[in-house]
Structure 1
Amino acid sequence: MTYFEPQPAPAEVPERLTDPFAEGPPHPLARRAAEELKGFLRQGGLDLHALDAPGQGKMFGVLVVAAPDGRIGYLRGFSGMLDGRWRVDGFAPPLFDSIARDAFLPAGEAELRALGERHAELTEGAEPTALRASLAELTARHDAAMDGMRERHDANRGLRHDARQRLASREVSEEERQVALHSLAEESRADAAERQRLEVAHHQEREVLVSALRALDTERAGLEHLRAERSRQIWRRISESYVIPNARGESRTVGSLFAPEPPPGGAGDCAAPKLLAQAYRHGLRPLALAEFWWGASPLTGGRHAGAYYPACWSKCGGVLPYMLEGLSVELGSLPGAGPGPVEELRLLYEDAWLLVVDKPRGLLSLPGRHEPSRDSVLVRLQRRETKETGLQVVHALDPETSGLLLLARDPETHAALQRQFARREADRRFVAWLDGHVAGDQGVIELPLRPDREDRRRHLVDPLHGKRAVTGWRVAQRSGSRTRVSLWPHTWLPHQLRVHAAHPLGLGAPITGDRLYGGDDARLMLHAEAVTFIHPHTGERVELECHAPF
């Protein structure tokens, strides 16, 4: 453990562990520890050249802890392996039982390597390569023979045509004509029979090689199935070797925490679980966690060197809640967001069919499916009047995003408004501050998006599997290292504006305060500033504007 020097004042020390899943900047002590670790990494404390390769960066983390004597310090950790090693001096070790793992993993890995090598032999080895070459040579020889026969048959056909023409112009008996025509027909049938015999002969020759290749394909498919099944079996055994402790002194395997589904790959290997386990192992009290990305960004974008990110739900969501049992934790908090209740809604437009509100930052648009009474725009409006039971949000805003939110009072109005936005007959304008300089003054971003399977809260650019996402933009102001832009979403996918701003192929500058995609300020500087639509019932054009509070 590394102790703080000087020691923090009592008022600087959190009473409870800060929420590892919370958005917003880390606790000041955790940030102080993380910045010290970043300095260590910058000074070459470790050989991290491999992390600079495209897509090879990784998450590091620190956990502020209190020692039994009351002194405050921190632990250091990293996700997965570092430079091919699970264990690095000065960092939290992995959670798996090395003895149990070593009892089966080397043999299992050797078996998988052998299966992989045999699969490679069946795909690109000497035998399939020779068979494919022989088949190509045979096919070329067959094609040449068929071409030669076809030319000869074409010549024969021409001769028969000429013979029929001469026969038609000569004075011969009907019997002589029929004999001559029958002879020509026999010649034609002979050519057809020759072609058929050659095709059969070619097929039989090819079938020897094709059957041999088909047998290799069958063996390869069987190997693929066997390798996949053995991989699943080995991963199940690996997951049982991970011992996950909690603050009450209990422990479970990572496999049991995700049962009946198999745990996702890498579950238990993130920095946060390693750090908590290290704290429990040495009798240290966890106080605050911070995790940051170091090295090259992932190939899909969404991570930036030095930026802070909360714990991921896809892997840590099944591990950390158990590890935190027995601790006093600020679950559901938003460190740095500021105390006090969320502002009241401001109603900007209302009639019998729809309404528009100015949603304050920090308020959900909709309650969660499993929390129908949780504070949100919809719940507040439904409580206002009992008749608001049919309200539907046309397009929800993220909790951190402020601005205009359009709601319909009946399904018909809701469907009509959504059609207008889909056809671009209606329009929305957002305003945002970006951390960075944006090249150019205006343009259109088209980057397809899909959910991040590693972290369900995030979305990634994926040209192959992503859905079409289009955003128009225009620079409104440049101030120092920041750029103020107006954004027009032509499509409406979750986090579209945030990803299009942050991604290198988009604007290359994350929205200020966007902790998911690169920023680390307390406030997300994204505001729905204007909305324009044709009223579905009156036909009037409605234009509303609400200036950003930043």
Structure 2
Amino acid sequence: MEDVPGVFPSPFDALGPHPLARQAAGALLATLREGVIAPGLSSRILEGPEGGKMFGVLVVRQRDGHLGVLQAFSAMLAGHWDVPGFVPPLFDREARARVEPIAETTVKALLHRAEAWSTSGELLGLRADDDDRKAREVTEREALRQRHDDRRRQRHARRAELLAVTDLGGDAQAKLLAATDLGGDARAEALHALDQESRGDKAEKRRWEAAQEALRRDLAPRRAKAERRLRALDRLRRIVSRGFMKQLHDTYAITNARGQTRPLRTLYAGAEPPSGAGDCAGAKLLGYAFAHGLEPVALAEFWWGTPPASGGRIQGEFYPACRDKCGPLLPFMLEGIQVSAPRSFVPPPAPTADLSIVFEDAWLVIIDKPCGLLSVPGRDAALTDSALTRLRARHPHATGPLLVHRLDLDTSGLLVAALDARTHAALQRQFLHREVDKRYVALIDGPVRGDSGTITLPLRVDLDDRPRQMVDPVHGKSAVTDWRVLQREEGRTRMAFHPRTGRTHQLRVHAAHPQGLGAPIVGDPLYGHANRRLFLHAEALCFVHPATGQRVSFTRAAPF
């Protein structure tokens, strides 16, 4: 048995749960590995398209002083709120029973109406007709432009030929007029005909534009009206859903360690609670403990099953409570008991020695940033040491230095700073237009299939769990990474990354996500397993020097 903690470890501790909670989670993890969640319920249901789930265990001290363990899962499991061996949900069942059936029926009916209209022959027909019209317009416009361009070139050549006669001497002019059988009047008529042809082309374009406008006036408004109807149905469904969600949230009464009870919605500072608030494993466990006179001792939450489509979860890995749903909720629930301050992952402290200068001239400076050194000062007054701070101490003039890009705190490698505003702007344009070649080296915590490839997974911040990033094909920003295997070691793979874009945590997410490499970077505390450091290094940079116009390359080998 592990030592019992003197105070309750923070559920937001980024370095993982207390050893006692890890030990308690071992029993549940063992049954999940054996393919069992509860009698008659297989853990294989978590391997399907709906993905896995967060589970939690809470070590509690019973009234007689003995320790016990509670188990919970987030939200529902296999369509059930109640599963033998796991604590129940926090909501008032009778109150929810009065709201949920009506809410489910009403929202499903609105969803059915929207789906029926979105697949209706009328809407699909209008979309098809309007899309066909747009496609024909593009094709016809290009054909008309090409035809008029050809005619214009022919007219210019003919007009030049006719007008060239006036530049010749008398004998030569007479001979050319005789050869072309064009007298003065005939030449004037020919020039007039060319002008008329030009006017005809312009008139043809105006008639064509008028015809297209007539088609647009016929189809576009009808399609727009049909699309507005679909958006209105969807908007109505969302409004009704939000109304019912408020009613459902009102069925939750949250009790803390002091015995005080507050409605769930009052804990979110005037904002509506996010979907799923109150249904996380940690909240269920604490709520059950307080309702039954049990003292919380240590909490652990872990993921089991297929990772979510957005990534960021690994089967069997422990995770702190989420900030969006549980951030306002758990602190209230824990009022009345002593809770330790949450720890965060901190890379090894940066060397206090001077910066490692790779290159320096009158316009720019390139350093090899060590792991553990911020690129720029942090918001906290204590986080003043950074690459930028040290560079400005080295170059104390008013206009610089200015960092052109940044590296994460726990990423080491080449970092570029400009010594004047013009150089800074020129270098930033190169980064913006993806004209800078970057190469990173990383050690991957697992085998990698294939020898090279490209990952294209769009990213955005995980609003429920900042600063994590998540894959989102709808709202995410484009993120592209080329990769190549350098060396395969026992259980690990040494990689070269060539990012074409520069999204936050791009390489870390692309490595860990199942649709990326499927294995995190060694030492990644956010998307993998914490280690003594993050094994990611910006090894090489190549760009055009703004002052000399020469393409320059710099390399600094990884320290691992």
Scaled by the length of structure 2, the TM-score of the pair is 0.70
Displacement, 1:431? 1.6
Letter in 2 for 1:421: F
SS of 1:273 mapped into structure 2: helix
The answer as to 2:398 corresponding to 1:398 is no
1:15 matched to which residue of 2? 6
SS of 1:445 mapped into structure 2: strand
Deviations 1:334-391 (A, max 9, x none): 37x68x85543651225665444444434443345x5355345157538957947755
Poorly superposed stretches of 4+, deviation over 6 Å: 120-124, 213-222
CA distance in 2, matches of 1:542, 1:325: 59
Displacement, 1:79? 0.8
Letter in 1 for 2:46: L
Partners of 1:366 and 1:378 within 8 A in 2: yes
CA distance in 2, matches of 1:360, 1:65: 43
Deviations 1:461-485 (A, max 9, x none): 3444432222222222211111011
CA distance in 2, matches of 1:494, 1:235: 33
CA distance in 2, matches of 1:285, 1:545: 56
SS of 2:510 mapped into structure 1: helix
- 2:271 maps to which of 248, 261, 265: 261
Letter in 2 for 1:298: P
Matching of residues 314-393 of structure 1 within 5 Å: 314-334=324-344, 343-344=351-352, 346-349=354-357, 353-368=363-378, 371=380, 373-377=382-386, 380-381=389-390, 384=393, 387=396, 391-393=401-403
CA distance in 2, matches of 1:453, 1:494: 14
Matching of residues 149-548 of structure 1 within 5 Å: 224-334=234-344, 343-344=351-352, 346-349=354-357, 353-368=363-378, 371=380, 373-377=382-386, 380-381=389-390, 384=393, 387=396, 391-519=401-529, 521=531, 523-537=533-547, 543-548=553-558
Evaluate the alpha carbon distance shift between residue 487 and residue 122 of structure 1 in structure 2; reply closer, same or farther with a 3 A threshold: closer
Letter in 1 for 2:27: E
Q: Is the deviation greater in 394-403 or in 266-275?
A: 394-403
The answer as to 2:100 corresponding to 1:105 is yes
CA distance in 2, matches of 1:531, 1:214: 49
Evaluate the alpha carbon distance shift between residue 440 and residue 108 of structure 1 in structure 2; reply closer, same or farther with a 3 A threshold: closer
- 1:82 maps to which of 69, 77, 83: 77
The answer as to 2:72 corresponding to 1:60 is no
Structure 1 residue runs of 5 or longer lacking an equivalent are 1-6, 140-210
Q: Is the deviation greater in 404-413 or in 238-247?
A: 404-413
Partners of 2:388 and 2:401 within 8 A in 1: no
Identity of aligned residues (%): 49
1:164 matched to which residue of 2? none
SS of 1:18 mapped into structure 2: coil
Evaluate the alpha carbon distance shift between residue 402 and residue 319 of structure 1 in structure 2; reply closer, same or farther with a 3 A threshold: farther
1:51 matched to which residue of 2? 46
Root mean square deviation of aligned Cα: 3.9
Partners of 2:388 and 2:403 within 8 A in 1: no
Q: Is the deviation greater in 359-368 or in 50-59?
A: 359-368
Evaluate the alpha carbon distance shift between residue 216 and residue 541 of structure 1 in structure 2; reply closer, same or farther with a 3 A threshold: closer
The answer as to 2:35 corresponding to 1:40 is no
Deviations 1:144-202 (A, max 9, x none): xxxxxxxxxxxxxxxxxxxxxxxxxxxxxxxxxxxxxxxxxxxxxxxxxxxxxxxxxxx
Evaluate the alpha carbon distance shift between residue 397 and residue 227 of structure 1 in structure 2; reply closer, same or farther with a 3 A threshold: same
CA distance in 1, matches of 2:229, 2:546: 62
CA distance in 2, matches of 1:322, 1:113: 35
Evaluate the alpha carbon distance shift between residue 75 and residue 363 of structure 1 in structure 2; reply closer, same or farther with a 3 A threshold: farther
CA distance in 2, matches of 1:511, 1:477: 14
Partners of 2:117 and 2:123 within 8 A in 1: no
Evaluate the alpha carbon distance shift between residue 472 and residue 45 of structure 1 in structure 2; reply closer, same or farther with a 3 A threshold: closer
Q: How many residues were matched structurally?
A: 462
Partners of 1:450 and 1:461 within 8 A in 2: yes
Displacement, 1:427? 3.1
1:188 matched to which residue of 2? none
CA distance in 2, matches of 1:121, 1:227: 14
CA distance in 1, matches of 2:445, 2:281: 27
Evaluate the alpha carbon distance shift between residue 224 and residue 439 of structure 1 in structure 2; reply closer, same or farther with a 3 A threshold: closer
Displacement, 1:496? 0.8
Displacement, 1:497? 0.4
SS of 1:430 mapped into structure 2: strand
Q: Is the deviation greater in 350-359 or in 39-48?
A: 350-359
CA distance in 1, matches of 2:308, 2:53: 9
1:174 matched to which residue of 2? none
CA distance in 2, matches of 1:282, 1:69: 13
Deviations 1:477-532 (A, max 9, x none): 21111101121222100111012212333222221232433445464322223334
Q: Is the deviation greater in 411-420 or in 430-439?
A: 411-420
Displacement, 1:437? 1.5
Displacement, 1:332? 4.5
Partners of 2:255 and 2:261 within 8 A in 1: yes
2:169 matched to which residue of 1? none
